[in-house]
Amino acid sequence: MDRKELLTRVKEEAGLESLYQADKAVRVVVGILKALVPGEVAERIADALPRDLREGWEAVEPYPADILEREDIYLGQTSPEEPKAAPTITHG
């Protein structure tokens, strides 16, 4: 799989309007993953990717940890009138 194939798949699966939106989404996910995994794991992931995806992986900076912590706080608070969401990959 190359970068264009990945972005096309993300665009279609997420119902996005453009490859630009898909690229932004992938960058956020990669940044979060890089913030969560140890450096040596991130390096092993990069080594396993095809060249163009590896270059993209290496170009994305890890998402700042303090932002991730704030997001956990926000997402953990739900109001009683909020409908229960369908399970996601992170919240089965």
Within a 13 Å sphere around the CA of 79, how many CA atoms are in the beta-carbon half? 2
- pLDDT surpassing 70 at residue 69: no
Convert the pLDDT of each residue in 7-23 to its tens digit.
999 999 999 999 999 99
**Full-prediction pTM beyond 0.95?**
no
Taking the C-alpha atoms of residue 34 and residue 42, their distance in angstroms, rounded to an integer, is: 6
**Which residues have C-beta within 8 Å of that of residue 78, sequence separation ≥ 6?**
none
| Radius of gyration (C-alpha) of the chain in whole angstroms | 15
